[in-house]
């Protein structure tokens, strides 16, 4: 997720509790991504509607994480 911001994400991870909300979003996004990939491979059985719901949730998390990243970047002059 947001690979072009890898340096900022690493910086946020190193600063710890201050960024706990971002890290929860980041981890949840990755969990959803894994579940979607497994469903698309057939390793996990989900309906098309369930997969679509997971994709929408994942996108919302990505949008929220992006907003946090941009704000963090500005606040820390990165």
Taking alpha carbons only, the member of 39, 35, 13 closest to residue 26 is 13
DSSP per-residue string spanning 5-16? GHHHHHHHHHTG
| pTM (two decimals) | 0.83
Are the C-beta atoms of residues 39 and 11 closer than 8 Å to each other? no
Q: Interior CA angle at 52 toward 47 and 54, to 5°?
A: 95
pLDDT tens for each residue of 1-60: 788 888 888 888 887 666 888 889 989 999 999 999 999 999 999 999 999 999 999 999
């Amino acid at each position: 997720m947001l690979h072009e911001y890898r340096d900022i994400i690493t910086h946020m991870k190193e600063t710890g509790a201050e960024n706990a909300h971002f890290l929860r979003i980041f981890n949840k996004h990755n969990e959803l991504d894994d579940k979607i990939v497994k469903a698309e491979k057939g390793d996990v059985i989900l309906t098309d509607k369930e997969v679509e719901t997971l994709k929408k949730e994942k996108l919302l998390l990505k949008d929220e994480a992006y907003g946090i990243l941009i704000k963090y970047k500005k606040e820390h002059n990165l």
